[in-house]
Structure 1
Amino acid sequence: MLALFNWSTYNTTTTKPSPSPSVELPFYFLCRLFNDLEIAEQCTAKTIRYSKTEFAFTKWLDAVRKTSRERVRAVDILPLIFPEEDISRKYSLKEAALVPLLAYALGLTGTTRGRLLSEWRIPTATNGIPCDLAGNLGSVVEWVVRASDRGQVSGLTVREVNAALTELASHSGFSDLEGHGKGPQPSGRTKAQILTELYSQMSSLEAKWITRIILKNMSPLRLSVWVFLRIYHPMMPAVYHMHTDLKIACERIEEVIARGVDSRTEAGRADFAAEFLKPVVGVNVEIMPCEKGRSAEHVREVLGAGQCFAELKYDGERMQIHFDASQPFDRQITVFSKSKRNSTRDRAGTWRIIKSALGHDPSFIRSVFASFPSSSSSLGTFATNYHEEGPRPPVCDCILEAELLVYNEAEGRIEEFGSVRELQDAEGGSGERVKLGARHFLLVFFDILYLDGKSLMGRTYGERRQALEAVVRVVPNYSMLAERVEIDFRHENGVQRLCDHFSHVTATLREEGLVVKRTDSTYNPGRWKRDGRGACWVKMKRDYIKGLGDTADFVVVGARYRPPVPGDMLKVPPGTLNQFYIGCLENKEDVVRWDARPKFRILFTVQHGLSAKMLQALNVRLAGRTVRFEFEENPVLPYSHTYAVSALLEPRRPDVLLLEPFVVELLGSGFVRVSKYAQYYVLRFPRVTRVQEERKWKTEGVGFGELQEMAKRVVRVGDEGKSDAEEQEEFEVIGEQKGRISEKRKEVEERGEREKRRRLETKMIPKGAATQSTESSSLSTYGSIPLHAFASSANEVEPQPTGVHSPLPSSTPSPSFVVTPTSSPPLFSQSSLPSSPSSPPSPSLLFFPPTCIYHIIPSSHAAATRESMGRLGVQERNVVNTVDAVVEWVIGGDKEERVGVVVVDRRRETVWRKVRAYVEAKVAQSG
């Protein structure tokens, strides 16, 4: 094959083979381009790296174009350069599944080199793999194959490699080779046979890059698809924005080249836009990007002083719906997910909902109403009107954007994120099944891009919304339009109105956030990216705004090297520990009280938020202080662990476990249930905000039970009506197992509680500060605070766990202590609890940990106290614990009479002194 090459000046610095005009493009020639790009990636300066990358591809493309264009097309080379953009071919092969197949294909099964291949991740030189290659499977494959490589290149062409990859993709049910969203029929050969034929002919260089192509991870290359498309043809980025299937975009640009369209003239650009820059039903359109809104004022700065609408951002799964009534019944609907994947079959449960919303299935509403005789009367009235009116003027074809949610008829609410996948069965869910279910899909439509042969992408948002309202029929609980509120930034109260609405949506309605859109904005994602004019849509979420996200301290117990994936901006050397495993204590109460051996449940991973400098410091700190991960308990570790196998972890097991875990503060965007089988919640989209060096990993990280309680307060709004038995059953499901304590431990616990209460009574209540009431306590009685923890030894009751609120027993009266206020209380009075005669007591008993000191805060100083605690990073929680300073408002009523109790752990007294000094200075300053 070497005899067919012409040695040319494709690259002036090195001699590279150039394809002869008489042959097709060799795959080896493409691999040499990859090597040049990899060398360019080693430049640290971003501008130099980009210029060298562009230069290398331009020179390579000029050399390729010396051959006839019929033999070298964009559709042949671009899906290999950008395999992550090749949405039609999915291989379902990650490193864990690919390594044994490669060992078989290379004939290394059971050999020393086969063992080295299986240990490709280990960042040590003890096994013979160079440290700078470990962690990158493509580089390790090249190193292993080089031992038997004779320096010859294969005779494989780019077309032959593409054909083999297409055959390999036919074994994955996620591939969409025919464009119908239906999994292809596997070829007659197995994956191992296909790979054996492919790899047996390849050199070590070719084996490296074909491995990376199959993994859809070209790291360390960080190439911009838009730059390469522009180099290939100036108008190709615009085509790809409109048709985000790379194969189709390549075919369209080849048509532009064949027809000789000149985009340099005004007439040529007009012809080009009319012919090639319009959406096509059945081909995914790029979604409109959003700027992140850091505050209401920032939203106004981005969008300018104009009329906008704030749409409710529903926390579901995005769908781009293509409808064509002229197609056969089972081909009328095409659905694309946010990742551009054809998800039509997966979304079969929404087909009848879509058609009924478009007026093509009036019988669906009556069948649904018949399935729910107890449904609201509004649904029945709607069903009658819908049937009498008949379908609207038929929609020939359209492209709609919607959010897919799950509606619960029994509870009358939209369920939290993650319910869509739980409801969807293995076949994607049938329309009949969804119709008869008490939990069913709900579609929220928010935009329309195409209607009856005309593109609406050039129309304003206001015009598109009017068209959407005219097309979509709202079906209660099944289809609806996105709720929105007008925000006019031309008025002075525009920013304040947005603030108030955002607070209502996130705090009261528990929704994800808002998307603020200019009324005059068009749907043109390409222009926003191309000219940098700024966004016309701004997304507001709690975690985008400093101080509003879900933040808590978690314990890192394990780590691994995570190979870079497309989109990663942080470049780290191979073998660097850059993904960390978060564990939560399952026995935190026993660890805190009895110094028991910690037992962690490893729940999820985090890799975002750390800078290169922080990663380097962590790796230096962890050097020599880790052990290799094993499922069995390791006696060397100061803790035991349970590996929670879930979609968030499997098969990405940690490489190492830490001999000394550490605490990090994580910021998340709410909570998510990992699967329908594991009924527990974890932090969603976690990222590290800081490493808490001073925190103790045994006691100061969030426990598993605390994590579930935090999640329930955020996402589970329907739990208030559950009985104690239901709550106990749920706790058992998620692993809390409350109340299951051995009799021996219970006896020791009771004895310890009695002794602690005696010490508290002596130490915490000044003489004369409290008088005992002879009447039975009542939660409706004003002026009294039942303090179970301060009960005298003569009136002892069953001890309860500290740090837990428990309702007063209804059958057995308990002693109540009325704490009388003293005259002229000081700014911070310790261990005295003044009451307000016009304020109701807390609806629960307070159990304070014995290791804490208590301070009283007058309501006039509450704001300053909260502010100072926020500045010092002290967490405010609703449940008393033994770690942080906690504000517990125990007396309700008017703001002027509200009193707070600060519970401060003795170990945190230094922080409390800073809070107290800050508030005293604030009060003195205000006079």
Structure 2
Amino acid sequence: TTAIIFRLLFPDHDADRKYGMQEARLAQYLAEIIGVSTSPGGRGNALVNWNGENAIGCLGNEVQDVLEKSTSTTENTLSIYQVDALLTELAATCAFSSPAYRYPSSSTTVTTMRHRPRRAILRELFSALSPVEASVATQIILKDLRPLLYPLPDGQTHYTALLLQHNSNALTTLTLSNAMYAWDNRGRFSAAFRVRARLADAALLYEQMCFTDGRYVPLKPRVGVAVQIPKCVKGQGCIQSLRLLSESKKVWAETKYDGERAQIHVEIISGEPQITIYSKSGRESTMDRIAIHPYVARRFRIVEKSLMQFILRTICDAFQLKSDASRVKKNVIVEAEMVAYSDTLGQFWRIRSLIGSTAVGPRHTKPSKGVPLEPEDGGSQCSLDSNASDDSARHLALVFFDVLMLDDASLLDSSYSVRRQTLESIVRVIPGHSMLAQRQAIPTIQRSPNKDVTPDKQLRDAFARNIADHQEGLVLKADEAKYNERQLPWIKLKRDYIPGYGDTVDLVIVGAAWEKERARELRVAPTAYTTFYLGVLSNREVMKADPRIFPHFEVYFTVSYGLSREALEELNFVIKSSDSIVYTNDNSLRSLSYQFNLFAGIPRPTTLLREPLLVEIFGAGFTKAPHNRFYELRFPRLTKVYRASERTWADGMTLTELQEIAHNIVGRDPSDKDV
């Protein structure tokens, strides 16, 4: 019961069950099940226009409204156990669900259920629910109960009222940890989730603790179940970061690599290792990381027995263990950053496209052929291309930074110093393939008689070297800290966390839209613009040569954060009161005073500005989206909107200028190519 209630109440934490549907697809299924038309004027039209100007931006609400207006009402005939079972069956139809749900045990009943069409499962579920329950079930499938738990004020949908009269920060949201404490104020449920970060397993362990008649139940990780990953505290400067760890005698400044986190579980069964990999979100993603399996085995001195066999019911590789050379006799759980590495250049690279190209299964992506774009000012085409020049030498590599369990012995309560020492004893470093995270010791107590050699000075020097080496930042860890210890948390120190130290550029806004995720955070209806489309001028030199040429903008990333609610309301007013036009794919866009190329990898805007607005954008370095050849700011934030009387769009940065800045920041020569 505990597991079911928490999986239904926190569907976003249910990492194992994916349903493969967003509002557009689910609305079509539900319209068919309810028996309403989605055509204009039809009773179900609101389902497909859940994010329209007259809606509040929640499909669950629209489902409830349509059902309540129905001539017949439905009484619930399903228990929460049956609802949970149907959701599990629905998740089995999605390729992104955990293999445990997609390929369950081959009993006749389960196998039959697994092969039922998605439409049949949804019909059985929704046909037995009341309007309110159907609303909740809709949002559970969409993995977001926020619009139901924290609804908009009754009758208020205007952007000004929602942005200025209501503060989303004043609302106390129900967190998973708070709910666990309310369920069990002795902290046993939270403690169970700390070692087994899957709701079903944590609930089972918690219930064992409740019904053991006082007998001790060991709290330790289990191979094959993700361990809860610590949340880093943002460091806002060197002095402030060290102050947060003032109770520690020594702090380690560990390099933060630009990659994807991987929690790797290895279990030796009959002499052969079974490997499972979890992402930062806790999702089982072994097949996404299939390319690093050989390095996991080699690093622990496990040699490959045969070529990897990919079978639907298994996500591991078959290897033979050299027991005399390996310290891993039974199992191990380690944490690493998965990075892209070039043997030819001896450098780390951006990882996004390499993950997709080496994945097996639904996350696998093929390189986009695309249409070549001519760079301005005679720049080299290859300088803007996102495919690396050393295809045969690029591969995924692992940088290990922690060990959580070794041969059934939990290391979660061991100090960082002990865990690192253990990690170094089991890792076989293979340059370019398996490495240990670089780190530097920072004493928190002034030991040197030289007053210039202070702890914060040492940290500043280490941080400066990290930036000069084009790394992402540092993670500060107390030498005495246990894993995921609240009193001595990990501190993430990055340039953009420190006011005035990020990367700032002037670009233009050419379009705007209501974006669901940001809108849920702000608690605003679709009448408000939350996301803005940034353009970069690509033909300034051509315009100088021929003033009759229209400006051309590359529009390939967006910004949703940075402005206060007051500033966001003002920007909404400026756009809505201007002569903007609705975005369409027809010839009506020819009336614009500029031309643009909209990158296929981003959603379409709702509206386009006839006159672009110049804005200041702040970010954390540069990156490239998959299949895009241009650098964009990482984690962009909107810091200033210029009035047309102050500065115009013509003062914005050009595409060549932006790419040159990006190359300098990421440490790439313009002739290099990136992943």
Cα pair 1:397 1:452 within 8 Å, conserved: yes
Residue of structure 2 in register with 1:600 after alignment: 553
Q: Does 1:337 align with 2:279?
A: yes
Aligned equivalent of 1:115 = 45
Q: 1:139 and 2:61 equivalent?
A: yes
Structure 1 partner of 2:333: 399
Partner residue, 2:117: 190
Q: Is the 8 A contact 1:358 1:471 kept in 2?
A: yes
Alignment of 1:134-533 (within 5 A): 134-148=56-70, 150-176=72-98, 178=100, 187-220=114-147, 221=149, 222-234=173-185, 235-261=188-214, 271=216, 275-304=217-246, 306-326=249-269, 329=272, 332-361=274-303, 391-427=325-361, 437-491=392-446, 492=451, 493=453, 494-507=455-468, 509-525=469-485, 528=486, 533=487
Which residue type is aligned with residue 456 of structure 1?
L
Partner of 1:94: 22
Q: What is the identity, as a one-letter code, of the residue corresponding to 1:495?
A: D
SS at match of 1:446: strand
Q: Alpha-carbon deviations, 1:713-744, whole Å to 9, x = none? A: 22252545x6xxxxxxx8xx99xxxxxxxxxx
**Aligned partner of 1:578: which letter?**
T
Partner of 2:3: 75
Contact 1:404–1:420 (CA<8 Å) still a contact in 2?
A: no
Distance (Å, rounded) in 2 between the aligned partners of 1:276 and 1:570: 42
Between the aligned partners of 1:318 and 1:182, the Cα distance in structure 2 is: 27
* Deviation at residue 98 of structure 1 after TM alignment: 2.0
Counterpart AA for 2:597:
T
Partners of 2:68 and 2:131 within 8 A in 1: yes
Distance (whole Å) between structure 1 residues aligned to residue 256 and residue 277 of structure 2: 20
Percent identical pairs in the alignment equals: 34
Task: Determine if contact 1:217/1:565 at 8 Å carries over to the other structure.
Answer: no
SS, match of residue 642 in structure 1: strand
My pick for the range that moved more, 571-580 or 90-99, is 571-580
Q: Deviations over 1:827-868 (max 9, x none)?
A: xxxxxxxxxxxxxxxxxxxxxxxxxxxxxxxxxxxxxxxxxx
Given residue 294 of structure 2, which amino acid in structure 1 is its aligned partner?
Answer: R
Deviation at 1:108, TM superposition (A): 2.2
Deviation for aligned residue 1:94:
1.2
Query: In structure 1, what is the equivalent of residue 594 of structure 2?
Result: 639
1:274-316 CA-to-partner distances (Å, cap 9, x unmatched) read x242111111111122221211111221111621111111111
Matching residue's letter, 2:61: S
- Cα distance change of structure 1 residues 641 and 153 upon mapping to structure 2, 3 Å threshold: farther
Q: Does 2:529 correspond to 1:577? A: yes
Partner of 1:794: none
SS of match in other structure, 1:522: coil
Contact 1:219–1:564 under 8 Å retained in 2: no
- Measured in 1, the distance between the counterparts of 2:425 and 2:265 equals 17
> How far is the alpha carbon of 1:256 from its aligned partner?
2.4
In 1, Cα distance between equivalents of 2:271 and 2:231:
33
**CA distance 1:215–1:74, shift in 2 (3 Å):** same
**In structure 2, what residue type is equivalent to 1:446?**
F
SS of 1:404's partner is strand
Letter in 2 for 1:661: P
CA-based RMSD of the aligned residues comes to: 3.0
4+ residue runs over 6 A deviation: 179-186, 387-390
**Helix, strand or coil: the match of 1:288?**
coil
CA shift, 1:177, in A, is 5.4
Report 1:835-850 matches (<5 A): none
Please state whether the residue corresponding to 2:593 is helix, strand or coil: coil
Closer/same/farther in 2, CA of residues 193 and 109 from structure 1, 3 Å limit? farther
Name the residue aligned to 1:549.
Answer: 502
| Equivalent in 638, 642, 652 of residue 688 of structure 1 | 638
Instruction: Tell me, in whole angstroms, the C-alpha distance in 2 between the residues paired with 1:214 and 1:77.
Output: 15
> How far did residue 674 of structure 1 move?
1.0
Choose between structure 1 and 2 for higher RCO, CA contacts under 8 A separated by at least 6 residues. Answer: 2
Distance of 1:219 and 1:653 partners within structure 2: 24
What residue identity is the alignment partner of 1:169?
A: A
Distance 1:662 1:483 in 2: 44
Residue aligned with 1:251, SS:
helix
Q: Is 1:669 aligned with 2:620?
A: yes
CA distance in 1, matches of 2:323, 2:24: 57
| Gap runs ≥5 in structure 2 | 150-172, 307-320, 365-390
**1:572 to partner: Cα distance:** 2.5
Question: 1:173 Cα shift?
Answer: 1.0
Shift of 1:497: 1.6
**What's the offset of the Cα at 1:104?**
2.0
C-alpha separation in 1, matches of 2:63 and 2:270: 47
Q: SS of the residue aligned with 1:178?
A: helix
Which residue is 1:380 aligned to? none
Letter in 1 for 2:118: K
Give the CA deviation at 1:237: 1.5
Match for residue 616 of structure 1 among 560, 569, 575 = 569
Moved more, 465-474 or 685-694: 685-694
How far is 1:426 from its partner?
A: 4.0
TM-aligned CA distance change 1:109 to 1:276, over 3 Å: farther
User: Shift of residue 214 of structure 1?
Assistant: 0.7
Structure 1 counterpart of 2:541, from 589, 603, 606: 589
2:31 is aligned to: 103
Match of 2:388 in 1: none
Contact 2:613 2:649 in 1 (8 A): no
Contact 1:279 1:285 in 2 (8 A): yes
Distance 1:325 1:176 in 2: 22
What is the TM-score with the length of structure 2 in the denominator? 0.81
Larger-Rg structure? 1
What SS does structure 1 have at the residue aligned with 2:100? coil
Is the contact made by 1:181 and 1:344 (CA closer than 8 Å) also made in structure 2? no
Q: Classify the secondary structure of the residue corresponding to 2:650.
A: coil
Seen in structure 2, the aligned counterparts of structure 1 residues 180 and 195 have a Cα distance that, compared at 3 Å, is closer
Q: Alignment partner of 1:113: what SS?
A: coil
Classify the secondary structure of the residue corresponding to 2:98: coil
- Contact between 2:251 and 2:478, CA under 8 Å: does it hold in 1? yes
**By how many angstroms is 1:488 displaced?**
1.4
| Distance in 2 of aligned mates of 1:579 and 1:424 | 32
CA distance 1:107–1:719, change in 2 (3 Å): same
Once the two structures are TM-superposed, the CA of residue 510 in structure 1 deviates from its matched residue by 0.8
Preserved contact between residue 476 and residue 490 of structure 2 (Cα < 8 Å):
yes
* 1:629 matched residue in structure 2: 583
1:416 CA drift (Å): 2.4
Mapping 1:755-834, distance limit 5 Å: none
